[in-house]
Chains A and B, each alone.
Chain A
């Protein structure tokens, strides 16, 4: 009898604890959903069963002025329109200005020498096949406001604030 009581008590306890665990996990999932919803920027919190009025299509920035890089390894962005520029097996329109033997005429920046290296570091005569498709890394910019506030801090600013802090000590 006593044994049975203990058993039932244990099962009760287990059930309760299990329930709490489940309910907690449910609230976590719900919280996640809310969180996701706040990041659902393109649809702008539109209900799932309604159609959103599409956003304006933004213009491509075409100022031909070099933009800064946010970190040293950032591929430079393209400061001009590239509508109709073909980059395929037959030809690469970008390279008709940016390749080594065209820059003198075009006065465009030359693609960096790393583009001429294969993965073993050997220099090739022309752009390496693995670096051929410019738009894999280099992109145009639109005159749009960012959809989400970006909290990225440039490493130089980080180092500056650090030196200021150590100075105060």
Chain B
């Protein structure tokens, strides 16, 4: 065993005896492009709604609930899909979120929330995960589409305009502080601030 590992190590550390430097460099470059492209394509494939709702936990619970809300159907036909709100757009943040999400794969394999009842039991914890995430990044996923600088307060209702021009403008509050449960149903809101 030790010998096999040693042979492998020696091959890696010794200079190449048969291939020219050019072949190794160019070949490595091309292989790198292929691997990197493949990795990103695979990553993007997991970043679609079809992928999310290919698990029944997502399709039968959160996706069904989304269907009745304004983020699914509205006057202008702009739609938010799962990753628009639940996956950061910036690459490093996205990779970090994807690594966290590997726990969801664990969950689906072992059936943590494979019935509606189990899902409802876990709902508060799951919702709180998302609320803390959005609170920590100043509702970044909301702001990817809803840009404060371009909000027309005169088009908003009086109450909305007041809250947006004071608490939100001052940075005291962020979107998720008030807009909880806009795309999915709420858990038991006992002890949640503002309820």
Contact = CB atoms under 8 A, between A and B. Distances in A.
Q: Tell me if chain B binds chain A.
A: yes
B159 interface: yes
B157 A62 contact: yes
Contacts of B185: 86, 90
The B interface is mostly helix, strand or loop, or mixed, namely loop
Q: How large is the interface on B (under 10, 10 to 19, 20 to 34, 35 or more residues)?
A: 10 to 19
Contacts of A86: 181, 185-186
A84 B70 contact: yes
A83 interface: yes
Contacts, number: 32
B159 A64 contact: yes
Given A62-B157, A86-B181, A91 B188 contact: yes
Interface residues of A, number: 13
A96 B157 contact: no
A64 B181 contact: no
Interface in B157-195: 157-159, 181-182, 185-189, 194-195
Given A84-B69, A86-B181, A86-B186, A91 B195 contact: yes
A115 interface: no
Contacts of A98: none
Interface string A58-69: 000011100000
B114 to A, nearest CB: 21
Nearest to B181: A86
A41 B157 CA distance: 32
A80 B157 contact: yes
Contacts of B68: 84
B189 A91 contact: yes
Contacts of B195: 91, 95-96
Nearest to B124: A90
Given A84-B70, A96-B194, A96-B195, A90 B157 contact: no
A139 B186 CA distance: 22
Contact of B70 (A64, A83, A91): A83
A80 to B, nearest CB: 7
A96 B186 CA distance: 13
A152 B195 CA distance: 39
A77 B195 CA distance: 22
Interface of A: 62-64, 80-81, 83-84, 86, 90-91, 93, 95-96
9 contacts: A62-B157, A63-B157, A80-B159, A83-B70, A84-B181, A86-B185, A86-B186, A90-B185, A91-B189
Given A64-B157, A86-B185, A91-B188, 16 more contacts: A62-B157, A63-B158, A64-B158, A64-B159, A80-B157, A83-B70, A84-B68, A86-B181, A86-B186, A90-B185, A90-B188, A90-B189, A91-B189, A91-B195, A95-B195, A96-B194
